[in-house]
Amino acid sequence: MGVSEEQIGPPGSPALASCLVPVFRGGDGEPRVVLVRRAPHGVHGGQLAFPGGRWEPDDEDLFQTARREAWEEVGLPSESVSLLAVLPPVTTLVSGYRVHPFLARIVPPPAWRPDPAEVSEVIEVRLTDLSDPSARGEEWFAWPEWPEARRFAFIRIGPHKLWGATFRILEPLLPRLLSMEWEV
């Protein structure tokens, strides 16, 4: 695959990152997605996200970046990851990362090993729970660098809200996953 000059962009371009959108069938046969809650520090502290992070020059390509980050963050071995689709990139609104998501079927490890420096918890969510209308809402959000507050859609997962880039990756993907476009 490699990382192209176009993906890296000229100086001043958004930072290049990727994430894994890990899906699997739970013991009950229900398809699930794996999310992480970021550690409390940093601009994305406490937020729900997919395992992922910044591209490093030693990474062979962006899919390797996503697999490396999933190993570092939650202990998911690369050999447990099968690529299903390369998804359209999204840009984070606050930190300015250009995130390249990769949908992958995984074999989850016997126990997740979250790195406490990066991840507060690992959350396995049934896809049907994510599509529940009662879990959805909208909220105004302000950031000091923005001229005015913006309204964002979210999905409530327990006490947390999934929003932002993670929501923008998942929202168009959810109906396709529920229709079994890919074998999970």
Which run of H or E residues covers position 71? helix 62-74
Instruction: State the DSSP code for 77.
Output: -
- What is the structure's pLDDT at 5? 45
Per-residue pLDDT at 11: 43
* Percent of the chain whose predicted confidence (pLDDT) is above 90: 75
The CA distance from 147 to 179, in Å, is: 40
**What confidence score (pLDDT) does residue 44 get?**
54
Compute the distance between CA of residue 94 and CA of residue 48 in angstroms, rounded to an integer.
Answer: 15
What is the per-residue pLDDT for 9?
46
Look at the block and give the residue holding tokens 């168009």: 172
Q: According to the model, what pLDDT value does residue 149 have?
A: 87
Give per-residue pLDDT as tens, 67-90. 999 999 999 999 999 999 999 999
Alpha-carbon radius of gyration of the chain: 16
Domains of the chain: 13-178 (3.90.79.10)
Residues of the chain where predicted confidence (pLDDT) is lower than 70:
1-14, 41-46
